[in-house]
């Protein structure tokens, strides 16, 4: 009796079961691939922001040593070591109303570090610098 029952039972999966399994697998894989793509994008952004912050800090340190007459708007890149990274420095007077004695002594320095095709990533840094009156000895 047992032998006859086993012979009549169909073996394997039906086409419907296979199609459902493939659909579930496709949905799961598309979600995993979407997460992987987002992870790579976030890693690239993180790498840019870390590198750009260090490069901007170095460039601002260079400008800190410059006198008021030598501080001008400029742009350039960071050479072969950091190829693909560029900087743009903007220097403007930041005069405050009511403080005419200090006119031209307070400077707003904006530094933008960019990277990628069409400046895909951008990091901005702003510094205010005061130049005191020079005393004659």
Q: Is residue 7 part of a domain?
A: no
Q: Is residue 136 part of a domain?
A: no
Per-residue pLDDT of the chain (137 residues; tens, 9 = 90+): 555 555 666 678 899 999 999 999 999 999 999 899 899 989 989 999 999 999 999 999 888 777 777 788 899 999 898 988 999 999 988 877 777 777 778 888 999 999 977 778 999 999 988 877 765 55
> Domain tally for the chain?
1
The answer to whether residue 5 sits within a structural domain is no
Closest CA to 129 of 64, 75, 83, 85: 64
Range(s) of the domain holding residue 60? 15-95+103-130
What is the pTM for the complete model shown? 0.68
SS3 85: strand
Give the integer Cα–Cα distance in Å for 90 and 75: 9
Does residue 109 lie in a domain region? yes
Beta-sheet pairing, 74-77 with 85-93: antiparallel
Tell me how far apart the terminal alpha carbons of the chain are, to the nearest angstrom. Answer: 119
């Amino acid at each position: 009796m047992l032998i006859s029952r086993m012979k009549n039972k169909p073996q394997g999966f039906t086409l419907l079961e296979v199609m459902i399994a493939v659909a579930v697998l496709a949905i799961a894989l598309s979600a995993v691939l979407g997460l992987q793509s987002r992870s790579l994008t976030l890693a690239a952004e993180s790498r840019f922001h870390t590198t750009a912050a260090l490069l901007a800090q170095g460039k601002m340190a260079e400008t800190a040593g410059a006198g008021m007459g030598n501080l001008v708007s400029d742009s350039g890149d960071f050479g072969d070591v950091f190829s693909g990274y560029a900087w743009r420095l903007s220097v403007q007077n930041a005069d405050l109303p009511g403080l005419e004695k200090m006119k031209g002594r307070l400077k707003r320095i904006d530094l933008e570090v960019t990277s990628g095709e069409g400046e895909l990533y951008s990091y901005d840094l702003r510094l205010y610098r005061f130049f005191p009156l020079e005393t004659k000895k």
